Amino acid sequence: MNYEELVAFAGRNPMLSAALVGLTAAIIVTEIRRLFRGYKSLKPAELVQLMNAGDAVVVDLSASSDFEKGHIAGSKNVQASQFGPEHKLVAAAKQRPVVLVCRAGTASEAAAKTLKKAGFEQVSVLDGGLPAWQQAELPLVKGRH
């Protein structure tokens, strides 16, 4: 396919062409935002490596009842509405890796933005939340421990 054929296709299919341009722009904007947001997204395997290194603080922002049904071993539960940079779990961890986990990803991303604004250096979220952890066939622990 050459340039003339592409131009002819775009002329014959203006709605498809507009949709392609719109989707391309949306992808570019999303990737630029991701690049400059200040925190990282971790895959489940990357979180396992970070936890095995021993220095990470893993905070689960799920509701207490959801946390008790299943959570990542070693994670601590805090209600998203009560969490912030001054919370006792993270207040002294500005230089340590802090990983935020929730069920859908929205609570952890909002909390990550707050921590970055407060000067935390190594903030991450679990990409895909607990469903991604389960999809990777990694274990969950039940109860409050």
Residue 23 has a pLDDT of 93
- To the question of domain 39-135 being in CATH 3.40.50.720, the answer is no
Position with higher pLDDT, 32 vs 51: 51
Q: How is the chain split into domains, by residue range? A: 3-35, 39-135
pLDDT digits (tens, 9 = 90+) for 36-58: 677 889 999 999 999 998 889 99
Residue 38 has a pLDDT of 74
45 is catalytic: no
Where does the chain have alpha helices with state H?
A: 3-12, 14-36, 44-53, 64-69, 106-117, 129-135
> 14-36 and 3-12 helices cross at what angle (nearest 10)?
110
Residue 6: phi and psi, rounded to 5, are: -65, -45
Averaged pLDDT of the chain: 89
Among residues 61, 72, 80, 102, which one is catalytic?
Answer: 102
pLDDT digits (tens, 9 = 90+) for 48-107: 999 998 889 999 999 999 999 999 999 999 988 888 888 888 888 888 999 999 998 789
User: Which of 96, 99, 121, 103 minimizes the C-alpha distance to 111?
Assistant: 99
Position with higher pLDDT, 71 vs 143: 71
CA distance linking residue 122 with residue 144, whole number of Å: 26
